[in-house]
Amino acid sequence: MFTCCLDNVVITCKHIADWCGLSFQINSGETLILPSNQCEREADMESEQQWTDTQKQFINDYKIYYHNMGLLVNEIDLNGPTGKMPKLPKKPKHRLSDVYGKVNKKKMTPQELHQYLADNIADVNRTISREIFTDVYLLVGNESETIIVEKLNKGIRNLKRQDAQTLLIHINFGHYLNLAKAWLENKRKEGRIQQSWATWLKEKTGYSDDHARKLRALAKVLHGYQQFFYVGLPLNFILGKLKEIEIMLQIPDFNAFWRVPVVLPTTNDLQSSQDDTLTLTASE
């Protein structure tokens, strides 16, 4: 059939034809010599293409989920428009894309994160110009690159002021939510209020605790670090980096930097955004 030697594997073409289902005739004396390491590579490739037990479980979970979802849709169709909505099948906790492995995003080091936050401190002593974002903020005539870049930078400065103001409000409101929740828990212990925090908040204010929970977590980390009132970055970015920020603040030098108190100007004390007044004169 075939014989093995130290460096090569000898396989007759007859056997290859049989294995591959070839219909043509091959002389029995012909042989095909394959290097032994090539056979090993082919075996490795075959093993690499096999799903792991975890991957198989992911796939099977979604097969069951979509099968049950298909049955549910058929049931809805058969019951007609007057039928009751059946209970939805439980969706797998993991995402289907996890079958290929989760992509780990590169995290900033505490030093990199501190520097990035500090580099995005906004000038909050000026007003936020609404004119920047109105219809007049369009290309006018044959504007030069200099004018276009100037307008872009003015818009970015105003966005940073807006982001800083948004962050300030959400930190302070999150802190108040924490105080209100603690107050409610005391009332519940005293028997004066029976509702849970989430139910009470929704009933009294219409505000969902799903979002309130994020703001309370934000305040638990950042309340008392007033330099964050100047950070001109989107709220979602800060929320996404909250755990990393918490680690960063454990470093004494960074902790001291962000704890420095600030004196925020009142609305009446804000300077005019004259530096952000649009220059609409088109260059010739």
The domain ranges of the chain are 2-48, 53-100, 110-276
Higher-confidence residue: 230 or 284?
A: 230
State the chain's mean pLDDT as an integer.
Answer: 80
φ and ψ at 9, to 5 degrees? -115, 125
Segment 157-177, tens digit of pLDDT:
889 999 999 999 999 999 999
Q: Which range (80-84, 168-172, 268-272) has the least confidence?
A: 268-272
Mean pLDDT, range 12-32, rounded to an integer: 47
Mean pLDDT, range 48-74, rounded to an integer: 87
Quick one: how far is CA 266 from the chain centroid?
35
pTM of the model: 0.61
Q: 189 pLDDT exceeds 60?
A: yes
Strands 31-35 and 2-4: unpaired
Quick one: how far is CA 8 from the chain centroid?
52
Higher-confidence residue: 131 or 126?
A: 126
Q: Which pLDDT value is given to residue 146?
A: 87
Distance CA 21, CA 23 (A): 6
Q: Which pLDDT value is given to residue 264?
A: 76
